[in-house]
Structure 1
């Protein structure tokens, strides 16, 4: 099912939670709403579910405006952060509960519950109660209960936030495979960027009720449109150096405290324009001193198993980058760094937009 939000806003008393939101979601897509707490992602999900009505704008399911349509009439499946299972019911009856509300005959709803249980590999747990299941199994029950109605739209509200790190990785693969197998349009709210990057076809990054960028995981990472997206996405985060543009011998360069860098792509901006240079940690390499290198002092070393994460100072700025375990570096040692010039980002200091996108 195609989903479209046109100029949607949501006001709570004096707080504007969502401001002029526009989204166009294709049939069968897996979309993540990603952002910090309070950015409006859960409010957007609640409007799609019919639990909130938009203050302005329209929500379309295909070509039908559903602003005032009750949740029960939207043919959606929803998985909550808490799973919201009924503790007194066995798994079979938990899964079948939405069908019971629809007055589906008992035999039919049990057959469909068993079919949904097979999809999530719970067919051997149908007679157990939720208290007899692990966290991952309870999540599967919640997923089966959402799928048993054969929904047109699946809404996931931080469904893996209660799982440990190892189980999260397993479950996100299972959910992604299941979603693709059933080809259900799916929208998931998460604050976990790694989760969003691993699962989504496209990600909408929100801040203060506005979409900052709606794009594929790859483009969000390699071509962030503004400083917020660049700072939010990436672990460890992007390095930033304050500088100014200037011309020397016909070349355009950025100069800041402790560094100078020649640009491959010339910007149509006046000399002395203040900018922020952005470099992801994996795009910085330790080199022997040369004309294009930047001097730095090592301040910390983190051993991560297969590599080391190095912190260093360039003038007043702190930066981080990776080196192989075999690289011999000591705290306090002066080093030379060479950023990959075709992978740098330059942001306007005034407006925050990426000048290279």
Structure 2
């Protein structure tokens, strides 16, 4: 028996990987030329060969891998009879019709090279009665095809044999093909066998269904997270601005009872980014304090005013300011100075409003 091409291996074994001694000191893929897959480390070549194996064709105890060694300009398959095939479906049809029938008649010539060269010319071979093809329904007496791809390609088949037109597959086609492949019986009671094209379509439809289910689960998770974050933000927003001293005392009580509330408030007020310290403090305090309470507050609590430095708001404002990327390294003194300036402006604004009211 003649030696098979390197792309045809016994069982599921891979071709040997050897270190190059001619052009480099790396390892070449035994199935690809160097311009298709560059020489690299041994473990990477083995990982690459596993991809070859996932797309190999099984036939009569052999694994037929796709060849990229430059025998033809395009990637192709080598047959046991030394023919070359560019089209996967035509090659599988050739194995099913030629070698399967020849082997049934005389096993000793199952790998003889003397077969017709119709596939080499790119023409669809004549259909034999009782043999599965790439585009016909399975025959009444044919068993399941002996050629089974180990894994379907990552894209749906673009063409079958000559004269066959593929159309988009819908849910009704999926049900029809599934019923046909799993429980179909002809008039004589024999099991129907799906063609290679139908097998690939069923595989692709199964992958699409899994992806659709996964996408729906992710969307449900994102929707629930948005609803949760929205309700939490609304509940925090209802607590502000603090209207008076009683509201400030109630806030301090909530902070002592719920340790996580402080971090939530820091995130709630620290949502602004890209502003300087003074502007960041101004936006935070304007949302945090009402105008009535801000005029009755002072940093140290002088003149019988409420002390901001001794309240629970001090640390919240400081940490919220530092969530701003511009103010991430702001010193405590810089934040303190900005808060004092804002409180003084609030008191001055109240004083001017009072004077204008007295004049009127």
Q: TM-score, normalised on structure 2?
A: 0.24
Q: Which has the higher helix share?
A: 2
Greater Rg by CA: 2
Q: Compare relative contact order (CA 8 Å, sep 6+) and give the higher one, 1 or 2.
A: 1
Q: TM-score, normalised on structure 1?
A: 0.24
